[in-house]
Amino acid sequence: MNKRIIASALLLLNGLLWTNTAMATEEPKYDVIKTDGAFEIRRYKPMLIAETEVQGDMDEASRKGFRLIADFIFGNNERPDSPEASKIAMTAPVTAQPLTSDTNMQTADKWRVQFLMPSQYTLATIPKPKNNEVRLKEVPSKYFVVLSYSGLNGVAKVQEKTNEAIQWTLKNGLEMIGSPQLARYDPPWTLPMFRRNEIVLEVLAPKQ
């Protein structure tokens, strides 16, 4: 099949998955510790996430991971109190993170893709995935350096922004933990100039 047709079909699929969920825009809760232009140090509050691990380059892995978790939240699940399925609201952002500690987003071929789960749920009350490739996890409060930017997310641009975030982190005497994350907040039909993207780096708690 023509690659252009495949790409168009995938874009349409993502669009359909977002349809009727555009108003469900719950985001992670956090406190801003420091702001410096497009950079922030944030302390995120505990959250519940759904995640999956996939192979491929950044774009391929993001599509695979999105489809797997979207399948879970749109009904491939089982409520804890009955065998029935339940639709879970879409939230933002969707994040993609290389599985190794390597900071090169251009060469990574194994990724962790994550969705925030709505705050109404706990691990005990949320519907459980029927696909064992999707896992639910409680994440404790953590500190992150976040670089916000708009536009499209070609892998070269993502790497450029990742390098900027790492340099700012080191310049400010912070110690990075693990690999960077790419967070995307908008459905695929959003015009590039209005897209909200973030590079997110976990760090040790800043010294007081």
Q: What confidence score (pLDDT) does residue 139 get?
A: 97
The number of folded domains in the chain is 1
- CA-based end-to-end distance of the chain: 57
- Residue 208 within any structural domain of the chain: no
Question: For position 127, which CATH number holds?
Answer: 3.20.80.10
pLDDT of residue 101: 72
Whole-prediction pTM value?
A: 0.86
Q: What local confidence, expressed as pLDDT, does residue 207 receive?
A: 84
Is residue 195 a contact partner of residue 188, using CB atoms and an 8 Å limit? no
pLDDT at 13: 46
Geometric angle at alpha carbon 55, from 71 and 78, rounded to 5°: 25
Residues of the chain with pLDDT under 70: 1-24
- Cross-strand bridge partners of residue 202: 144, 177
Supply the pLDDT for residue 183: 98
Domain limits for position 185 = 3-203
